[in-house]
Amino acid sequence: MKRGTITIDGKGNVHIPSTPVWMSACEIADLFGAFSGKVSVQIKTIFKEGLLMETEAMRTIQSGQGFIDLYGIEMITMLSFRIATPQAKTLRRWIIDRLSGKNSSSSPLIVCYTLGKRYN
Look at residue 71 and tell me whether its pLDDT is greater than 60.
yes
> Is 57 inside any structural domain?
yes
> Is 2 inside any structural domain?
no
Q: What is the mean pLDDT of the chain?
A: 87
Q: Are 113 and 91 in contact (CB under 8 A)?
A: no
Percent of the chain with pLDDT over 90: 68
Averaged pLDDT for residues 17-27: 93
First to last CA, the chain: 52
- Sequence-distant (≥ 6) Cβ neighbours of residue 30 within 8 angstroms: none
Look at residue 113 and tell me whether its pLDDT is greater than 70.
no
> Is 30 inside any structural domain?
yes
Torsions phi, psi for 100 (to 5 deg)? -90, -5
Indicate the number of domains in the chain.
1
Look at residue 108 and tell me whether its pLDDT is greater than 60.
no
> Is 107 inside any structural domain?
yes
> Is 97 inside any structural domain?
yes
Averaged pLDDT for residues 81-103: 90
> Is 1 inside any structural domain?
no
114: β partners: 117
> Is 111 inside any structural domain?
yes
Q: Return the pLDDT at 63.
A: 86
- Domain that includes residue 28, residue range: 7-119
Band (pLDDT 50/70/90 cuts) for residue 111 is low
> Is 85 inside any structural domain?
yes
DSSP SS3 for 102:
coil
